[in-house]
Structure 1
Amino acid sequence: MAADTGATPAKAPQAQTFPIVVAARPLPAGQAIPADALRIEQLPINPTGAFRETAPLAGRVPVIDLGEGSPLLEGQLVSGLALRVAEGERAVAVKADEVMGVGNKVQPGDFVDVFLMLKSDGKDIDRSQARLLLSRKRVLAFGNASVDGLPSKAEKSGNQQAQQRAEATRTAVLAVPVDDVNRLTLAESSGRLVLALRNPADMSEPNPKLFAELPTALQPAPAKPGDPRRPPLEGLDRAQAGVTTADFVTGGKPGAVRPPIAVAQRAPSAGSGSGNRGGLQVEVIRGDRSETIRY
């Protein structure tokens, strides 16, 4: 019997695969990813930034639309400072310098009180005011450093002091409730802000019930007959209603600020015996003072 001389065919090498998290259904940009919208598949590729487990991805937000079966990558998801802003808050940048920032001792993660200084002109210096504007607000970023963990340019350079001298701090980013953003922006444009550093264990805050609420710039639409009583505006609704500079400065006191009023009067003629030239005289009223200008 002839011997079997046929060679046994070699097995084809099995392609290497990797467990990769993919979308189990389309994931729209800007919406949190549900836990049941993910699955793990064995793929022949292992892209940079891919995930091997679904748990860390639940609740993350994609920045682009992802189709079913698309691998999820770190670069496709929202990251950075936006993730450190709580619901109902907004990250707002204000101008900063060494004095405003407690001698540049403020650091990301600190809590500060925001004070406002409103200085009138030389004639109205008695009406200058300073007051607490916002209490116990979290600092998200100060200069180049931020709470999102990204190193500042100074840290990258290896010479922090030299870098700080070369690039002075110009902004501080605060986490502010959305209905307080209007007051903060008006305050920065109308006066000077000062940050007061506080111990994070100090939870004390002023009682808002002791002060009257500022009137809004936009008035709510009148309620229709029979409609239930509307609750006070708050959150985004109050933010959209806004506040005027006059109400912000005076606390909404009726008649506290009177805009300049020019009252034109015809000056007596030369023949009237007054001795004044004919012409126009204008009385300018500013608050409780008036001044007559003759033309």
Structure 2
Amino acid sequence: MRFGSIFMALVGLGVAGGSVYAARHYLDITDADLARAEQPAVVSVIAAAQDIPFGHPIEAHMLTTISWPSESVPSGSFTDVTNVIPAPGNPPRRAKRALSQGELLIRSKVSDFGEKVTIVQTLGDNSRAMAIKVDAETAVGGFVTPGDFVDVVLTQGRNEELRAVTILQNIRVIGVDQSSDEEVDKPMLYRTVTVEVTPEQSQRLALAQKAGTLSLSLRSLENVVDEPLDSLRLSDLLREKSPVAENAAPSATIRVRRGTDSVQEIEVN
């Protein structure tokens, strides 16, 4: 009788232990499944491993892969490096714009295999590229570089009839001489500056180059709202007095002391 009780007790313990083990195993599997379900699905997308200049051939060592949530991958992204790097002996893709390290490669930013990349591909809709003849004086000493914004000032006439007028404002520079690299940050001396203009602005610019000397005025980075500017003649500068506001005229102060009294200051104009 005692043996039967012990046997039943052992069977009961075995069943209980097996139930606990099965329950823990089930919970572990369920927790793992929930953890995987909570993590968003990701895919590997191609990005720049280093800065890639405009027009430069895209080579394998310039690329890397990064994980990206599959539901938010930008349209036109590359997920397979073989779609970016050509087969041996075939022409490469090129950067249609300067690419920064870590930036995703998107089809709109790179050329097709063997496609020619020119400055035209940096222009906006219905824009034109037009060159202006410049020198060190008219191009802000060579400090104008691709990506800057400038005003264009026309100077024409002779003697006292010499005048200056701003003919274009807030114009983007897209090239200097034969360079369109926006990463250039050193002053250079060059002979032409290429700017992005509308068709109507290109006509004004063509006439202005024939009419006189064009100078560039380098703008600040702040987005300032422009207003029309009147032309200025040399005769406007040749004044009898210097251009200082009358209320800013200097004044003199006289100090008066009467015996042991305190000093009194009298201001005279």
**Same fold, TM exceeding 0.5?**
no
Greater RCO, 1 or 2 (C-alpha within 8 Å, sep 6+): 2
Rg: which structure is higher? 2
TM-score in terms of structure 2 length: 0.43
TM-score in terms of structure 1 length: 0.40
